[in-house]
Amino acid sequence: MPGNILQSLGKVEVRNPVMLLDEIDKLGAGGFHGDPAAALLEVLDQEQNRTFRDTYLAMPFDLSHVFSIAPANVLDTIPGPLRDRMEIIALSGYTEEDKMHIAFRYLLPRQREAAGLTAEQLVLEEDTLLALIRGYTREASCRNLERELGAICRWVAVRVAEGSSSGMQVRPDDLATVLGPQHFENEVASRVALPGVATGLAWTPVGGDILFIEASKSPGNGRLILTGQLGDVMKESAQAAMSLVKARAADWQIAQESIDKSDIHIHIPAGAIPKDGPSAGVTLTVALISLLTGRKVRPDVAMTGEISLRGLVLPVGGIKEKVLAALRAGIHTVLLSARNHRDYEEIPENARQQLTFIWIERVEEAVAQALVSNPDVSN
């Protein structure tokens, strides 16, 4: 039989359909059966697909009129030659407002119908749905949100079937009874209660996330210890941050002796998760200065940006995803490189209204904005 491409064209009976090649980042490596990436090159390349050759037909077929869409979660696993043939369109995660509309219009009616309930038998108000989104489904998509809504619908359906209730309105206080304790909580304030802890912003394949960086010191000979399963680039960022703090210690009123006779340990929690990239540079620097000066980092501030040894804060990627992660985590102020101002228009309007953006060019500006004025004398 012909291959899947020509079989699909035979089903739709047109030569110019939209073809969805889903999960193209899960493409297997080539073996003795042949390389699937090489076959897809002939499908996606506009210069080659005019003479696409199906093995069964053994004759060329024009695929140039087919519009191909290939969704993927991660770009890194797509073979380079294949990725070069594509136009990359990045879609970021949903905001809380987006999730509310999607849940009310699509997810809740679908799960309610699947559980055999009517709109009168299960009522979910906006405050309940907001508590569900914030406490149980901190994610970029809506997949877990639909799962939790399905669990609520089934819980109510059981009580209706038992005759103990003809219907009910689920309130925020009922979520712990239905779904158990909250999966997520706002831990920013408790995490940065001590000097040496700063909140950064990270990009992940499923959206942005907040990143806590902890620094501590102990008597030693000036060693820098790094833990938390860090990649090479992040280790180099930590070394650059340490070099910058040593070189500019006098500017921040840090005694050189406290650096030379102490071992500095930098740890990034969630040690089972690999972390890499240069965007934590400014957060690492602020954490070190906070530790060595005894000044706490403001709990409502998060930051991202690469640093140079001259103290410049350089631009990084994934700004929209990182800003939305800060909003989900209860952050009020975000410090970004001034050269990332070009990404401001990509941030959703409701996120812009709820957050304060401070554009910085140098590390000194980040320190002035992120650290409280008075040092903690107990440290």
Catalytic residue among 99, 296, 320, 322: 322
- Give the Cα-Cα-Cα angle 172, 177, 182 (nearest 5 degrees): 65
Position with higher pLDDT, 379 vs 209: 209
CB atoms within 10 A of CB 312: 17
**Residue 243: strand pairing partners:** none
Residue among 325, 312, 288, 326 nearest 360 (CA):
312
Query: What digits encode the pLDDT tens for the residues 242-282?
Result: 999 999 998 998 888 888 889 999 998 876 677 788 899 99
**Catalytic residue of the set 68, 92, 279, 290:** 279
Q: In whole angstroms, what is the distance from residue 17 CA to residue 39 CA?
A: 19
Is 322 one of the annotated active-site residues of the chain?
A: yes
The string of pLDDT tens digits covering residues 29-87 is 655 566 788 788 888 888 888 888 877 777 888 888 999 999 988 787 888 888 888 89
Residues 101-134: pLDDT tens digits?
999 999 999 999 999 999 889 988 889 998 898 8
8 A C-beta contact, residue 149 and residue 111: yes
- Domains annotated on the chain, with CATH: 4-84 (3.40.50.300), 96-179 (1.10.8.60), 188-370 (3.30.230.10)
Read off the tokens for 277. Answer: 């990239």
Which tokens belong to 276? 């890499």
Give the whole-angstrom CA distance, residue 164 versus residue 74. 48
| pLDDT(377) > 60 | no
Sign of CA dihedral 152, 154, 155, 159: positive
